[in-house]
Structure 1
């Protein structure tokens, strides 16, 4: 067959979709007509022709270096893994055990962690150990909250299924202390009201959980948006809110001594006292009379006792 050339002189390359295999009848016709060249092996090599090697797992030693056999993640191979693993469903599992590893497609479908054995992990840790530094001893929980006040957490799930994705892995949990936001009294009160049950007054922790979006990245962006929105809205004061907060004590969640009538009365009382005045018998007598009136003690009507008490006081 003559090759076909383009106008530029390059040969035409046919698309290779699969091996050009011939049927047994076609091969037989080519042998009979002499068109096919048949290479017969030597007669003395008959044992080499029928020799079949045993599976590799049967020739492995128990003291071999497994990370060298399975260095990276790949699909399960029954001829390499020397483990009596069985997997599959039977109609009657009490009578028949699950399928063996040979030709078991269920073991090929699922991911495996044969490349993350303790020996392989230890080897990786020793390799990257020179690039790591020791954890600071002074960096405890309090210091961590001081330098890293915002905490984000999420979970990854590994299970046997036809899909590696889990809808629970997209959930983002954000935690931050409200005291780290440095809010004033009005902003703190408004943020607590807007957060509702998400704020824990015992630990002063604000927890935001986002699970509305389809991906983890979208939920992370949404959680950051909620935190920024809460912070910015807590500082805003609307017209109706300004009128409402003219007297902060009337609408505050906790009754405070600040800006109360008791505070005004106490300040007035302290300012009216004369400082530096010496105590005399008259001031002591007035103080005693006021204490008697406060406790409800009746006055003494016996003249003898009154004269004696007066004499003692004068003395």
Structure 2
């Protein structure tokens, strides 16, 4: 609220003194000002408005170059890509391309390439990283035995060989069903078998035995896990080994005519050879049957070669090779000249 008071001085000028008394009536002042503003028209000042509106300048952001372009050539790749992870184009300083495009165009690059992110990669397994990892696990390894310095020594001390395969392929899962297959190989001569058990073992394994290399090969793939198949092949080898040593009652009753193979020691061929040799030495040929059967043919010159030739001819069948070996063994046994080869 404002109050105007005037004072008059005689014979002089009029002096007006405005004395303003302010009261705590803020609400009243606001109401008065609002009424005054409503009574007046608003002025549109175009010039001043243009001055207030300054032109906006678009500042371009400072874009840094790609990380792949800023990488040093001598950097430690193990720190950049320490383990298996999804492909990231800015972390790989290589011009990789993957994908199918129509003929005549280059495959898509590594930027925004979904094909490179679909499959697992092995960018972390570089030669320096693999070497560093091998060095770190050396402390857990033992030294190679000095006595195993040749293939013959390894086969003698470790006759059983287990073969498995690992696969790496492009798919959402790194597992391959072929990795479950386990193959066991062992030389039959390394097993403790006599003549009867050896023959029975060979008949039990069937075509899994290779006579040329003397190797027994057992393969298992029926179980879903490799460890299960490995236990299964070990079981098969153990079962065949112990079963070959079992002698059934019907096997004791087998005669020479029932045998599956030609046993030269129990056939008349050996008895005839022994009697012929004793006659040439002017010795008595009246020996018992057991003495003729157990006679050592190594005492007869070229007798062992004759035994092998006759057994091969009877067991392997008649062929040009078996007939030729049999003829050579007979000539050596009788002291006849060898057959001349006509060219």
Relative to the length of structure 2, the TM-score reads 0.58
Distance of 2:225 and 2:124 partners within structure 1: 28
Instruction: Provide closer, same or farther for how the CA distance between residues 261 and 99 of structure 1 changes in structure 2, counting only shifts above 3 A.
Output: same
User: Which residue in 1 is equivalent to 2:267?
Assistant: 260
Residue 123 (str. 1) matches residue 132 (str. 2): yes
Distance of 2:177 and 2:210 partners within structure 1: 27
Find the residue that maps to 2:89 and give its secondary structure: coil
Instruction: Provide closer, same or farther for how the CA distance between residues 239 and 255 of structure 1 changes in structure 2, counting only shifts above 3 A.
Output: closer
Residue 68 (str. 1) matches residue 76 (str. 2): no
Which consecutive residues of structure 1, in runs of 5 or more, have no partner in the other structure? 1-45, 274-315
Distance of 1:50 and 1:182 partners within structure 2: 83
The 5 Å alignment of 1:99-118 reads 99-118=108-127
1:178 to 168, 184, 188: 188
Residue 96 (str. 1) matches residue 105 (str. 2): yes
The 5 Å alignment of 1:282-297 reads none
The 5 Å alignment of 1:233-272 reads 233-244=243-254, 246-247=255-256, 251-256=259-264, 258-264=265-271, 266=274, 269=278, 272=284
Distance of 1:67 and 1:189 partners within structure 2: 58
User: Once the two structures are superposed, what CA deviation does each residue of 1:191-247 show, in whole Å capped at 9, x if it has no partner?
Assistant: 111212111112211001122233222322221222122112212233333322x54
Shift of 1:160: 2.2
Shift of 1:89: 2.0
Shift of 1:136: 4.2
Distance of 2:95 and 2:262 partners within structure 1: 68
Q: How many residues align?
A: 223
Task: Indicate if the aligned counterparts of 2:81 and 2:123 stay in contact, CA closer than 8 A.
Answer: yes
Task: Indicate if the aligned counterparts of 2:197 and 2:245 stay in contact, CA closer than 8 A.
Answer: yes
Instruction: Provide closer, same or farther for how the CA distance between residues 217 and 88 of structure 1 changes in structure 2, counting only shifts above 3 A.
Output: same
User: Once the two structures are superposed, what CA deviation does each residue of 1:30-67 show, in whole Å capped at 9, x if it has no partner?
Assistant: xxxxxxxxxxxxxxxx96x9344333112101121111
Task: Indicate if the aligned counterparts of 1:55 and 1:80 stay in contact, CA closer than 8 A.
Answer: no
Shift of 1:173: 1.0
Greater RCO between the two (CA within 8 Å, min separation 6)?
Answer: 1
Shift of 1:162: 4.1
Instruction: Provide closer, same or farther for how the CA distance between residues 105 and 210 of structure 1 changes in structure 2, counting only shifts above 3 A.
Output: same
Shift of 1:264: 4.5
Shift of 1:83: 0.9
Find the residue that maps to 1:207 and give its secondary structure: strand
The 5 Å alignment of 1:20-99 reads 50-90=61-101, 92=102, 94-99=103-108
Shift of 1:133: 5.1
Task: Indicate if the aligned counterparts of 2:185 and 2:217 stay in contact, CA closer than 8 A.
Answer: yes
